[in-house]
Amino acid sequence: MPFHEKARQTSGIRASIASVAARLMAEDGITDYHQAKRKAARQLGLPEHTTYPDNAEVEAELRVYRSLYHDEEQLQRLRAMRQTALGLLDMLAEFHPYLAGSVLDGTAGEHSKIDIQIFADSAKEVEIFLLNRGMTYEHIAPRNEKVEAVLLLETETADANLVIYPPRLERVSLKSRDGRPRERIKADGLRKLLAD
């Protein structure tokens, strides 16, 4: 098979995996990109060694899927999650919080969590802060060695992951698991986003 035909076939397979993975994330609540891509490849009957699309390709398909199938409902949910996130950013201001993840990039759905990055001297001080406000939380295992702790906080809109980093990492560009820089914004940026 000529190289250009093989490249076109590979591109088509990647697009198919991205599309099915996006549907699985939207409908089944899968939040792990790699798991969604693996499951999509299995559903498509592809071999184990298939080249997967990157997370950005799946994210683009997820946006398309949500705009086609959940348009008004999705926009209302996303707005409510962003307003909840703003409340959390304001409440946690002393810990230099940022909104990141699917609520920021617009791909959040009914199974998504609000991801808040905070920078504190210790996880204990954040826990004490929450306990003093009568807020309950649970510990979640961090998926990154730079993270000191992850606290899962229930809100009326969606659960929120408070991802606690040491203060020295606030000025560092944190990366997603696929190596892309993780976008994040402070409360003022989120206010502007909500005003648009």
Does one domain contain both 75 and 139? Answer: yes
Does one domain contain both 23 and 117? Answer: no
Q: Which residue ranges in the chain fall short of pLDDT 70? A: 1-10, 69-71, 176-180
Name which of 115, 105, 92 is nearest 183 in CA terms. Answer: 105
Name which of 98, 114, 104, 103 is nearest 161 in CA terms. Answer: 114
User: How many structural domains comprise the chain?
Assistant: 2
pTM higher than 0.95: no
Does one domain contain both 54 and 112? Answer: no
CA distances (Å), 59 to each of 18, 31, 33, 64, in order? 8, 11, 9, 9
State residue 71's pLDDT score.
66
d(CA 34, CA 47): 15
Task: Specify the amino acid at residue 28.
Answer: D
Tokens found for residue 91? 């409440």
* Domain assignment of residue 138, given as a range: 71-195
d(CA 94, CA 176): 25
State residue 58's pLDDT score.
85
Does one domain contain both 63 and 123? Answer: no
Does one domain contain both 12 and 24? Answer: yes
CATH number where 113 lies? 3.30.460.10
Q: Parallel, antiparallel, or unpaired: how do β-strands 114-119 and 149-153 relate?
A: unpaired
